[in-house]
Amino acid sequence: MNLHQYLKERSEQVDAALDRYLPPLDAVPQRLHEAIRYSVLAPGKRLRPILVLASAEAVGGKPETVMPTACALECIHVFSLIHDDLPCMDDDDYRRGRLTNHKVFGEAMAMLAGDALQALAFELIADNAAVVAPDRVVAVIKRIANAAGTWGMVGGQVVDIESEGKDISAETLQYIHAHKTGALLTASVLAGAILCGADAAQQQALERYGRSIGLAFQIADDILDIVGDQEKIGKPVGSDEGKDKATYPKLYGLEESRRRAHAEVASAVASLEGFGEAAEPLRAIARYIVERDL
Amino acid sequence: MNLHQYLKERSEQVDAALDRYLPPLDAVPQRLHEAIRYSVLAPGKRLRPILVLASAEAVGGKPETVMPTACALECIHVFSLIHDDLPCMDDDDYRRGRLTNHKVFGEAMAMLAGDALQALAFELIADNAAVVAPDRVVAVIKRIANAAGTWGMVGGQVVDIESEGKDISAETLQYIHAHKTGALLTASVLAGAILCGADAAQQQALERYGRSIGLAFQIADDILDIVGDQEKIGKPVGSDEGKDKATYPKLYGLEESRRRAHAEVASAVASLEGFGEAAEPLRAIARYIVERDL
């Protein structure tokens, strides 16, 4: 399959859907909606929504059926980026090559835009019940809420902050990655499949797939922060190291980190053994993670 | 009925349930869980959870059935308070008579505690599907998510901030109150009823009840900010005026504000005409709002 073409088509569909689902600019409070749209509609890979769509396909579903949930995952991801960039957190001025939300709209508006995006995410998933059985929707909400909060993304962010400037163990680094980014990626993969009626065995396989690509993705990000160029990753190269953040290359070295990223991708692809042709996009996405100039 | 006794019993039940549902202190990340528990378990009226329980009763349901959702409403309320108190927002040092979350745990942790609480809220409502039909749970999630985001609480906060230091119209004041506090109160009332199978007519009546008590509650709060004492309201008297915030007394005067609060309470009670004895707690709660030393 042509992954480049697939990603382009899917991300265009996601962008169009986000534009429909996000609060319009002519509704009150307009400045909030500007702030929300500024960050959500900034150019991005749309990895989480595309994983939702691809996992729906992998179990025989139609991607358009799960579009509201796909967009919800992007809303949660972007909400976390906006809050992460605030002065009381990472204090970043740039994100995806543009000024961060609070640099344009102010801190209060940025925080509230993030809060509104999290609420909107759960409203969108609930809306998915218009075309999907409600018990599946509830299962997905439970899973995504769990992955967004203290047992996932937020928990990982807290441990990440607490680890700044400290020597951390391999276990802690693993904890941070599995929670801060891995939990939401895994939830994305599971969401599309659950909504389209995946059975327990399929869900287990996709959960393994999600964990592996989540870890591979984070290791790849750590590596790119060292060897990548600023244009491609949208933030200054070496910005993690400058903050004395825990990273894979710091703990294992560059070569061993590369080896681990590739091993996780192989294991992700192996998890999909029982799936047919329909899982080809998921396999291609896994391989793509380590092909980004590592 | 003895409202004082009712509120005491219910709030004790809510406190016990919150203690069970909140992340435990011995789980990682412990400091985050401390921060969450510090604010959620601070003494409070538990008005929103009690409204969920009382509206479940009003339509013939068992309050214990809806306890996870009742606690979810408190989580959303407290998350909004924690974020509201941050330096980039109201910059308050005290809340409910104790130091605000960020004064104790720092700004980053306070923001993340709020984020985690919003996620936990939706997880708790989804958990309610263990004892309630999933279509009802999805309807409640949709309603609460809508009331928490830009079409409700966050939208009201944004307009409130934008109005600081300005002369605002009666319409804008009404917008702020209806959204910032009213939407979540109305969603609380509807949540309990929807989960317990309220029909469309009952839901409409309860929505009118919710809107009226929401407005009465906010007018009463504005009045108490002028005439109350600091101990009872947990923040310095006159703190709204000091920030040049829009309030009812400022726009209509104290007497007219009192009259309006009482009129809203009467209209809330009138909305419950079709309900029997089981709605007595809801009626008593409505009356109680304007009996707080206005």
Nearest Cβ partner for A118 among B106, B119, B158: B119
Which pLDDT band holds residue B236 (cuts at 50, 70, 90)? low
Alpha-helix runs per DSSP H in B86-169: 101-105, 107-127, 134-148, 153-163
* Contact check, Cβ <8 Å, B162/A29: yes
Nearest Cβ partner for B145 among A29, A122, A129: A122
Nearest Cβ partner for A119 among B106, B116, B145: B145
The tens digit of pLDDT for each residue in B80-99 reads 999 999 999 999 999 978 99
In B20-39, the residues whose Cβ lies within 8 Å of chain A are 23, 28-29, 31-33, 36
Q: What are phi and psi of B99, to 5 degrees?
A: -60, 145
Task: Read off the pLDDT of each residue in A33-38 and give the average, rounded to a whole number.
Answer: 98
Whether A192 has a pLDDT exceeding 80, the answer reads yes
Task: Read off the pLDDT of each residue in B7-30 and give the average, rounded to a whole number.
Answer: 98
Task: Read off the pLDDT of each residue in B120-125 and give the average, rounded to a whole number.
Answer: 98
Whether A110 has a pLDDT exceeding 60, the answer reads yes
Nearest Cβ partner for B32 among A80, A146, A150: A150
Mutation target to probe the A interface, by most A beta carbons within 10 A, among B34, B73, B101, B115 is B115
Whether B233 has a pLDDT exceeding 60, the answer reads no
A63-72, B144-153, B216-225: segment of lowest average pLDDT? B216-225
How high does pLDDT run on average in chain B?
93
Whether B243 has a pLDDT exceeding 80, the answer reads no
Q: Which residue has the higher pLDDT, B72 or B250?
A: B72
Per-residue 3-state assignment (H helix, E strand, C coil) for A179-194: HHHHHHHHHHHHHHHH
CB distance A52 to A112 below 8 Å: no
To the nearest whole angstrom, how far is the Cα of B72 from the nearest Cα of chain A? 12
Nearest Cβ partner for A28 among B33, B114, B159: B159
To the nearest whole angstrom, how far is the Cα of A78 from the nearest Cα of chain B? 13
CB distance B16 to B41 below 8 Å: no
Mutation target to probe the B interface, by most B beta carbons within 10 A, among A25, A115, A173 is A115
Q: Which residue has the higher pLDDT, B291 or A13?
A: A13
Nearest Cβ partner for B150 among A23, A127, A146: A23
For residue A1, the model assigns a pLDDT of 87
Mutation target to probe the B interface, by most B beta carbons within 10 A, among A80, A86, A118 is A118
* Contact check, Cβ <8 Å, A122/B141: yes
For residue A241, the model assigns a pLDDT of 53
Which pLDDT band holds residue A244 (cuts at 50, 70, 90)? low
Q: Which chain A residues are Cβ-neighbours of B26 within 8 angstroms?
A: none
- Which of A216, A189, A175 shows the shortest CA–CA distance to A48? A189
Q: Which chain B residues are Cβ-neighbours of A126 within 8 angstroms?
A: 138-139, 141-142, 145
Q: Rounded distance, CA A57 to CA A50, Å?
A: 11
- A112 reaches B (C-beta below 8 A): yes
The tens digit of pLDDT for each residue in B144-174 reads 999 999 999 999 999 999 998 888 898 999 9
DSSP assignment of B216-282: HHHHHHHHHHHHS-HHHHSS-TTHHHHTT---HHHHH-HHHHHHHHHHHHHHHHHHTTT--GGGHHH
Q: Which chain A residues are Cβ-neighbours of B132 within 8 angstroms?
A: none
State the count of interchain CB pairs (< 8 A) between A and B. 170
Which residue segments constitute the domains of chain A, with CATH numbers given? 3-289 (1.10.600.10)
Which pLDDT band holds residue A54 (cuts at 50, 70, 90)? very high
Nearest Cβ partner for A115 among B88, B118, B161: B118
CB distance A111 to A87 below 8 Å: no
**Helix or strand or coil: residue B184?**
helix
Which pLDDT band holds residue A246 (cuts at 50, 70, 90)? confident
Task: Read off the pLDDT of each residue in B225-244 and give the average, rounded to a whole number.
Answer: 60
For residue B14, the model assigns a pLDDT of 98
Interhelix angle B134-148/B107-127, nearest 10 degrees = 150
In A171-190, the residues whose Cβ lies within 8 Å of chain B are 175
Which pLDDT band holds residue B65 (cuts at 50, 70, 90)? very high
For residue B241, the model assigns a pLDDT of 53
For residue B232, the model assigns a pLDDT of 53
Task: Read off the pLDDT of each residue in B104-131 and give the average, rounded to a whole number.
Answer: 98
Q: Which chain B residues are Cβ-neighbours of A176 within 8 angstroms?
A: none
Q: Rounded distance, CA A213 to CA A216, Å?
A: 5
Whether A235 has a pLDDT exceeding 70, the answer reads no
Task: Read off the pLDDT of each residue in B99-110 and give the average, rounded to a whole number.
Answer: 98
